[in-house]
């Protein structure tokens, strides 16, 4: 499956939700408001073409949208790493613990 980089404006709670999904290796839904779609993105995520098209359409008609990230997309998509690194205190201890166990 191919992915595109997309800048999104995520709240701290949305970032935490993505981090929990990554930690628990589960899928997750993130709801974005129409206002947040028009703001400068603070996180770069790799999205599928279908997800990108859904965001573009929602932005065009000024409506909110819910994006579903599959378990596979959360755990194996390297683009999420940049989003998690923005979490600082929450993600880095988890990452350090994982590398320490190796």
* pLDDT tens digits, 40-62: 888 888 889 999 999 999 999 99
* pLDDT tens digits, 4-30: 888 889 888 988 888 888 888 889 999
The residue among 73, 64, 63, 59 whose CA lies nearest residue 28 is 73
Phi and psi for 36 in degrees, rounded to 5? Answer: -65, -25
Which tokens sit at 23?
């930690």
């Amino acid at each position: 499956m191919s992915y595109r980089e997309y800048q999104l404006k995520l709240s701290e709670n949305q970032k935490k939700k993505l981090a929990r999904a990554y930690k628990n290796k589960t899928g997750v839904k993130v709801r974005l408001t129409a206002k947040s779609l028009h703001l400068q993105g603070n996180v770069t995520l790799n999205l599928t073409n279908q997800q990108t098209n859904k965001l573009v359409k929602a932005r065009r008609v000024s409506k909110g949208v819910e994006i579903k990230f599959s378990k596979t997309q959360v755990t194996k998509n390297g683009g999420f790493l940049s989003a998690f690194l923005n979490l600082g205190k929450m993600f880095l201890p988890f990452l350090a613990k994982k590398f320490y166990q190796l």
